[in-house]
Amino acid sequence: MDPAALIPAADPLPVHWGWFQVLLTVTFVLHVLFMNAMLGGAIIAFVRGFGGGRGRDVSRDVSLRLPFAVAFAVNAGVAPLLFLQVLHGHFVYTSGVLMARWWFSIIALLIVAYYAVYAWRDRFDGAAARRQALIGLAAVLLLFISFLFTVNWTLAVSPERWSAYFAHPEGSLLDLTDPTLWPRWLHMVCGSMAIAGLALAGFADRSARHGDASATARGREGLRWFAWATLVQVGLGTWWLLALRPDVRGLFMGSSFAATGLLVLGYLLAAAAIVMSFRGRLRPTIILALVLLPVMAVMREIVRSGYLAPYFRPADLPVKPEVSPLVFFLAVFAVGIAAVAHMLRLAARAGRES
């Protein structure tokens, strides 16, 4: 069967596709910051919750902020998902239908994980076994949700695999044989622990400047989490690169100057961030990480475009001009960013007062 015959027709755009590509990348980076803090924070809190002393302090520090991270991650994920659907909806909707049972389960799983995070925070000083069970449940559910997202995004760019639906017409397709699936997912998980560790170090530094004598040790530990997780992430990223389809891998190996340059820049930024974090330099590490994230997001878009190139290019989407919705969105987006910044300040103040 010709895979192209399975691809639905695309809807026209109200403005040039480049607007949506830029907005997708920008909003995705914002979402990734909160999502990584959420997932990585849950993993770090669970692992460190088994130890007493500083491990308990680290877990408690995360408990004050993890509910906020979940809320911000979910809300910040709406915009990039919408822009993704505008540009690639005929691929994403199709892959979502192919794995519909799993895809719709995400809502229920997320609700349970959200409740577990709040219950863990409110019962932190209770029995240790219950506390660990709650954060462990949240971490496992968030990991599984992240895996389902990775399966969907991987399946969305592989129309040649969609015919497997006819063997799973009930909407339970999980294509676990894609060679990029596991390195892509593990790369993301390690990245979440790195960003969560950096967030831990940042909040600890803030607490130390407000007189918390124990915060310095937590800050050093957060930087170590970032350093080691990023080091592992570099290896997983290389695995992901080697697992890419040959023509897409070739983009990063010299056939595309931009893609190759971004890959080299990504390795250099990651190496510099690792060195700075091992040296305990918080501010340079944060700056390097904030530069690295957009670089990785753009490379991710290049991978998506490379995989879909035989079937589709956003530049081919028809345009029926209607600028007013975009103008309205940009205005609301600016107000939303200001509101989120204000809420983050309130959240940081609440955590400090706790």
Map 9-33 to HEC letters.
CCCCECCCHHHHHHHHHHHHHHHHH
- Least confident range from 213-227, 236-250, 266-280: namely 213-227
Please report, for residues 14, 101, 103, 155, the alpha-carbon distance to residue 21 in angstroms, rounded to integers and kept in the order given: 13, 29, 24, 20
pLDDT bin (cut points 50, 70, 90) of residue 352 is low
Confirm if 189 and 35 have CB atoms less than 8 A apart: no
Question: Could you please report the per-residue DSSP string of 338-353?
Answer: HHHHHHHHHHHHHHHH
What DSSP line would sit under 186-233, residue for residue? HHHHHHHHHHHHHHHHHHHHHHHHTT-TTHHHHHHHHHHHHHHHHHHH
- Tens of pLDDT, residue by residue over 15-37, are 999 999 999 999 999 999 999 99
Phi/psi of residue 312, each to 5°?
-165, 145
Q: Which range of residues forms the domain containing residue 60?
A: 14-353
Asked if 61 contacts 204 with a C-beta cutoff of 8 angstroms, the reply is yes
Q: Tokens 């993301």: give the residue.
A: 188
Taking the CB of residue 178, how many other CB atoms lie within 10 A of it?
16
What secondary structure letter does DSSP report for 315?
Answer: G
Q: What does the block give as tokens for 175? A: 């294509």
**Residue 38, both tokens:** 């959420």
148-162: pLDDT as tens digits: 999 999 999 999 999
Q: Is the pLDDT of residue 346 over 90?
A: no
| DSSP of 246-306 | HHHHHIIIII-HHHHHHHHHHHHHHHHHHHHHHTT-HHHHHHHHHHHHHHHHHHHHHHHHH
Task: Dump pLDDT digits (tens) for 166-196.
Answer: 887 888 899 899 999 999 999 999 999 999 9
- The answer to whether residue 3 sits within a structural domain is no
Question: What pLDDT is recorded for position 144?
Answer: 98
Confidence band for 1, pLDDT divided at 50, 70 and 90: low
Mean pLDDT on 46-50: 90
DSSP 320: -
pLDDT value at residue 326: 82
Between the CA of residue 42 and those of 31, 125, 225, what are the distances in Å? 17, 17, 13
Length of the chain: 354
* Assessment of whether the complete model's pTM goes beyond 0.85: yes
In-domain check, residue 296: yes
Q: Is residue 44 in a domain?
A: yes
Which residues have C-beta within 8 Å of that of residue 127, sequence separation ≥ 6? none
**Percentage of the chain exceeding pLDDT 70:** 97
- Spatial distance between the Cα atoms of 297 and 309, rounded to a whole number of angstroms: 18
Distance (Å, rounded) from C-alpha 249 to C-alpha 167?
30
Nearest-CA neighbor of 330 among 83, 84, 12?
Answer: 83
Total domains, the chain: 1
**pLDDT at position 353 over 80:** no
Does residue 115 carry a pLDDT above 90? yes
Residue 2 lies in a domain: no
Residue 4 lies inside a defined structural domain of this protein? no
Residue 6 belongs to a domain: no
Indicate whether 28 belongs to any domain.
Answer: yes
Cα distance between residue 194 and residue 190, in whole Å: 6
Residue 9: burial class (beta carbons within 10 Å; 0-12, 13-18, 19+): exposed
pLDDT at 195: 97
181-209 and 282-308 helices cross at what angle (nearest 10)? Answer: 160
pLDDT per position as a tens digit, 299-343: 999 999 999 999 999 988 888 888 888 888 889 888 888 887 887
Q: Which two tokens stand for residue 17?
A: 């596709």
Q: Which residue has the tokens 């969907």?
A: 152
Residue 324 lies in a domain: yes
